[in-house]
Amino acid sequence: MHRTAFHRHPWWDRVIVALDQTSLLDVLTWVERLRPWVTWFKVGPVAFLRHGPALIHTIHQMGARVFLDLKFHDIPSVMESGLRAAYHLRVEMVNFHALSGPEALRSLAQTAQAWLDRPLLIAVTVLTSHDWPPWDPRGSPEAWAERLAGWAFEAGLDGVVCSAGEVPTIRQKYGPDFRTVVPSVRLEAPTDDQRRWATPIEALQVGADWIVLGRVLTGSLEPMAVCEQLNEAFWAGEQIGR
Ligand code: C5P
């Protein structure tokens, strides 16, 4: 059956759009254009350092949710203060490097435990731009992602950022309530800085709770056409999905 843009597939709720632009006008134009499709937007260091907390408030006022992707990696007390600051911004998701260690991760989970409407706490495992972990060039990214996901799980965090290839094992080991966020999503093999990649459908079908769409959408000259293609693909691919 042919579906048009007006039949938005529910998988769009599992899409997070990465806003990595420097210009405020660009960032807000993307939110405005994509908001009919997308609920979640990711603010990383580029946009946050330029536009600060006001940007988060504006995105919230536009009716969207915010993943604050600052990837804290510090000593436990500083990470905890960073988390408190993120909580005051009312972001819905925030992340930390799992490599900051089990103690830091545990203190984050404990800090947020009693909060109402707390953000989801997500740990970054092995960046998808790595073919192998630079701290262990003979180790595999999959084994490290699984190990770091274990630290996050044991600490009581809500989930991890990992590549699509690692989702099945992480879901199998830590269960469906432990969330997975998958960046490095491409329509074809990347020629940029990303390495461990998957197509949107592949990532959703292996069970990613969210996929991050960055340059695949915001780097396109025709982003709305990409949205429509993805929408068609979601309807076609849904029978095998989670
Ligand atoms: O443009 P692209 O699709 O590569 O964007 C990926 C986004 O996901 C970027 O904003 C990047 O910071 C983020 N990210 C990532 N790898 C991680 C965590 C976040 O690529 N492990």
Residue 20, in any domain of the structure: yes
Q: Which amino acid is at 118?
A: R
The pLDDT of residue 159 is 98
| C-alpha to C-alpha distance for 205 and 92, rounded to whole angstroms | 24
pLDDT digits (tens, 9 = 90+) for 125-152: 999 999 999 999 999 999 999 999 999 9
User: Which protein residue's CA is at the shortest distance from atom 12 of ligand 1?
Assistant: 44
Tell how far the Cα of 220 is from the centroid of ligand 1, in angstroms: 16
- Residue 123 belongs to what domain range? 10-240
Q: State mean pLDDT over 67-87.
A: 98
More confident residue, 1 or 36: 36
218 lines ligand 1 (CB under 6 A): no
pTM above 0.75, yes or no: yes
- The H or E element that residue 17 is part of is strand 15-19
Pocket test for ligand 1, best of 43, 131, 179, 184 (most atoms within 8 A of CB): 184
Q: Ligand 1: which of 27, 40, 69 to mutate, most ligand atoms within 8 Å of CB?
A: 69
| CA-nearest residue, atom 2 of ligand 1 | 214
Q: Which two tokens stand for residue 235?
A: 């309807």
Which amino acid residue places its CA nearest to atom 14 of ligand 1? 183
Q: Are 47 and 21 in contact (CB under 8 A)?
A: yes
- Residue 206 above 70 pLDDT? yes
What pLDDT band is residue 1 in, cutting at 50, 70 and 90?
low
How crowded is residue 22: how many other Cβ atoms within 10 Å of its Cβ? 11
Residue 229, in any domain of the structure? yes
Q: Which amino acid is at 104?
A: A
Residue 1 falls inside a structural domain: no
Residue 4 is assigned to a structural domain of this protein: no
Q: Please tell me the total number of residues recorded for the chain in this structure.
A: 242
Q: In angstroms, what is the span from residue 188 Cα to ligand 1's centroid?
A: 16
Model confidence at 237, pLDDT cuts 50, 70, 90, reads confident
SS3 226: helix
pLDDT at 240: 46
Does a structural domain hold residue 3?
no
SS3 content of the chain, % helix, strand, coil (to 5): 45, 15, 35
Task: List residues with catalytic annotation.
Answer: 71
Kindly tell me if the per-residue pLDDT of 83 is higher than 80: yes
Distances (CA, A) of 69 to 55, 120, 125, 171, 210: 13, 12, 13, 22, 14
Tens digits of residue pLDDT in 10-66: 999 999 999 999 999 999 999 999 999 999 999 999 999 999 999 999 999 999 999
> Measured from the CB, is residue 200 less than 6 Å from ligand 1?
no
Backbone conformation region of residue 90, classed left if phi is above 0, alpha if psi is from -120 to 50, else beta = left
Ligand 1 center–CA 68 separation, angstroms? 12
* Residues of the chain above pLDDT 90, percent: 94
What average pLDDT does the chain have? 94
Confidence of residue 7 (pLDDT cuts 50, 70, 90): confident
CATH, residue 61:
3.20.20.70
Is 2 part of any domain? no
In a domain, 112, yes or no: yes
Q: Is the CB of 20 under 6 A from ligand 1?
A: yes
Residue 223 lies in a domain: yes
How many domains is the chain partitioned into structurally?
A: 1
What is the rounded average pLDDT of the residues 213-236? Answer: 94
